[in-house]
Structure 1
Amino acid sequence: MAIHLDGLNYGSYAETAKKIETKIATALAYSREIYQNDHPTVEFWAPTVPSGLLDKLSIPGVEFVVNEGFTGRVNELAALAAGGTKQYGDASFRFLQLLTHLKGPAPRFQPPAPLA
């Protein structure tokens, strides 16, 4: 897993698209080898993808969960996490559970204002 918080950037849009296509092809090959009798699906999640790059990313069978879609899906996961405390063995989901079960003021997700 790689998370590019400032946006995907492996050079030009063409270079970045090629790198992403290679990563997805590797993931598909691996999943087909491991799950030979299943039909794997691939979702590519990224919080920040420029529209110019998104236009170059058209890979059949791959769902791109990016930008506002990414935020919406994370919010869905957070809502699920808020509904229970059972551990599922996934550190990311557990962290969402922790954030949604805090006591006291809600967490602030905006960076604090710079000190004067």
Structure 2
Amino acid sequence: MMASKLVQLQGKATQASKVAAEYGSSYYKQLLEKNRHYIQEPPTVERCNLLSKQLFYTRLASIPERYESLWKEVDSAKQLWKNRQELRVEDAGIAVLFGLECFAWFCADSLLSER
């Protein structure tokens, strides 16, 4: 049983590698040509390191603005909670989306801190 699964897997891997060999090069070239405007010249490891540092520090610099935005949303949610008797379905949907966004940020932060 296990041997037949292994043979099937090997067959599929062989088939996948043939397709990749046949179409991979043209797909790669087409992808690069289509997105040429994103490519930084010269495309070197040093350039990639520079861009990586720029991205990191740009995101770091944006934290105060994002932090302020977060507290505005929290204050808005507090206002909704205070007036929950007058809450409409649309407002409840927004509150749920806000909760999901907070949860997503928590998950992203947890994933990033594991690195």
What's the TM-score bracket when you normalise by the shorter of the two chains? under 0.3
Structure number with greater Rg is: 2
Q: Which has the higher contact order (CA 8 A, sep 6+)?
A: 1
TM-score normalised by the chain length of structure 1: 0.26
TM-score normalised by the chain length of structure 2: 0.26
Give the structure with the larger strand fraction.
1
